Structure 1
Amino acid sequence: MQDQTSALYTERKIMRYEKGSWNEMNDRITLERPLHLEINGKEFITLLCTPVQRKELAAGFLLSEGIIQSPEQILSMDLKEQEDLISMELTGMEIDLEDRVKKITLTSGCGRGTILCDVMDAISEPRISGSMDLSPVEIMERMHELHHHSSTYLKTGGTHSAAVTDGRSLLAFAEDLGRHNAVDKVLGFCFLNRIPTGDKAVLASGRISSEIIMKVGRSGVPILVTRAAATDQVIRIAEAMNITLIGFARGTRMNVYTCPERITGTG
């Protein structure tokens, strides 16, 4: 799993009101920066994110939007930290980028998330054929590990986290102010490092909405687990894409909404 060493927060003085009195104190604040994505010399899109793992975010976003399908399509990727800019040279794209941007959908994700398609397009996406078996104990252990690794959330309360797991350990982990960004970062890490995801699960700390299930499905991931809720449309998309969707995975309980055959003991 990648090492995330850069600070995700800053400190500033605030006034806190508590139990009838005011006190000046230092508080930890989650960082937020723009990430301008330039493709083949043209400005493409700007993402708002926590400024770490930005190459992974860019790759994961392009993958989950169906713009690229293979690491070999990335001829170069240059991150200019001071300009909050990633310049990429891509090849073999089968879509018109300008046309795709016209289909922007503002999502319910944190930080006003964006997807470049109609959410109902997911219904016609290929069904996930990847196989993976997880036990309830493995799920609970990995979700506990996800929470334990979420150090910025524990310090600030201002981030979401996501991970990719093979059931035994976390292979990728990320925190970000946006839950959709956190998912893009871990999928991008696996994509850039050529870690197959057809036999892996994605773990997430936040509510699952349509853009996240689409990202997971387009990466071929067969299982998605969250400690929070899922919407009715997400459940319909998960059924259509043959994804095992699990919500409220907290402590010793969880809800399996779709495709329970991948979870041992449900049959």
Structure 2
Amino acid sequence: MNLSVKKERVIHQYRAGKFNCKTDEVVEEFPLTIMVNGEEFVTLVCSPEHLRELVIGFLASEGVIRFKNEIKRFTIDESMGFAYVELNDTKNFRSSDFTKRVIGSCCGKGRHFYFLQDVKTAKTAIDKINISAETCIHLMMCLQNESQLFQHTGGVHNAGLCDTEKLIITRTDIGRHNALDKIFGYCLLHRIFVRDKILVFSGRISSEVLLKAAKLGVSIVISKSAPTELALKMAEELNITTVGFVRGDSFNIYTHHQRIIE
């Protein structure tokens, strides 16, 4: 089954005092239920691409796995919307140790950072990297230029993993958490060291997003949108630099400003 991330739909558009009939592109939503060792673990609502990365990244961010070799068997049934994961260590996984919930695609019911597994998997940033102010602006511009699905539909979030000069990988999803999990999954599958990397993000830096960045292990988070106060408190404690409102030739540094230089 070849899943599509967008579909065409005939709409009636009102512009300049007139109605016009035209074809528009809208993003797809795809519910994916993850089964771990035969137990239903969670249902993610996502964009139907890079699903293997999404599942592996999600399991890692939730503390179910740390490395890809902890997975014995992995299959996805796209036609039914199920991912089946069998772990090598079947004795130590109990779904009751985690909070089972349906995670929506955006701002509804999200993940709360006080869960025990979040405490176990969040990392304090330790790398002493720094980047120039111009690089912050350049990386955000590169992310926006890469986001063709957003340009066509306006309905997705984008995330990119960068080094101190350029984008390494970008991922897109209707859910901002999903885009980050796809990045996480890609890094695990390709054994990419992330402690010296930068996360560039299109959405708001919420506490959940900041926690995702901490679990991934990056030191700098750059966003074109705003942070929340709780996210900034977490960033201060976890030694993460947060940069927001990267628009045009300006931005704001909220925490650990020493990593951004002139």
Check if 1:152 corresponds to 2:149: yes
Find the aligned partners of 1:263 and 1:55 in 2 and give their Cα distance.
34
SS at match of 2:255: coil
* AA of the residue aligned to 2:18: S
Q: Which runs of 5+ in 2 are unaligned?
A: none
Check if 1:174 corresponds to 2:202: no
Q: Which runs of 4+ in 1 moved over 4 A?
A: 92-95, 104-107, 119-126
Q: 1:73 to 1:50 in 2, by over 3 A?
A: same
Percent of aligned pairs with the same amino acid: 34
SS at match of 1:82: coil
Paired residue for 2:98?
A: 100
1:164 counterpart (155, 161, 165): 161
Q: Map of 1:199-214 to 2, 5 A cutoff?
A: 199-214=196-211
The alpha carbon displacement at 1:189 in A equals 0.8
Find the aligned partners of 1:63 and 1:211 in 2 and give their Cα distance.
15
Find the aligned partners of 1:51 and 1:208 in 2 and give their Cα distance.
24
Paired residue for 2:76?
A: 79
The alpha carbon displacement at 1:75 in A equals 1.9
1:221 counterpart (203, 218, 221): 218
SS at match of 1:36: strand
* AA of the residue aligned to 1:99: D
Find the aligned partners of 1:123 and 1:247 in 2 and give their Cα distance.
25
2:40 counterpart (17, 40, 43): 43
* AA of the residue aligned to 1:261: Q
Paired residue for 2:114?
A: 118
SS at match of 1:129: coil
1:9 counterpart (6, 15, 22): 6
* AA of the residue aligned to 1:227: K
Q: 1:111 to 1:30 in 2, by over 3 A?
A: farther
CA contact 1:172–1:190 (8 Å) conserved in 2: no
The alpha carbon displacement at 1:252 in A equals 1.1
| Root-mean-square deviation over aligned CA pairs | 2.4
CA contact 2:42–2:102 (8 Å) conserved in 1: no
Find the aligned partners of 2:75 and 2:117 in 1 and give their Cα distance.
31
Find the aligned partners of 2:113 and 2:126 in 1 and give their Cα distance.
23
CA contact 1:161–1:176 (8 Å) conserved in 2: yes
Find the aligned partners of 1:6 and 1:136 in 2 and give their Cα distance.
39
1:69 counterpart (42, 61, 66): 66
* AA of the residue aligned to 2:96: E
Q: 1:75 to 1:111 in 2, by over 3 A?
A: farther
CA contact 1:209–1:234 (8 Å) conserved in 2: yes
What count of residue pairs does the alignment treat as equivalent?
A: 259
Paired residue for 1:56?
A: 53
Check if 1:233 corresponds to 2:206: no
CA contact 2:42–2:103 (8 Å) conserved in 1: no
Shifted more, 193-202 versus 15-24: the winner is 15-24
Q: Which runs of 5+ in 1 are unaligned?
A: none
SS at match of 1:115: coil
CA contact 2:159–2:201 (8 Å) conserved in 1: yes
The alpha carbon displacement at 1:97 in A equals 2.4
* AA of the residue aligned to 2:166: S
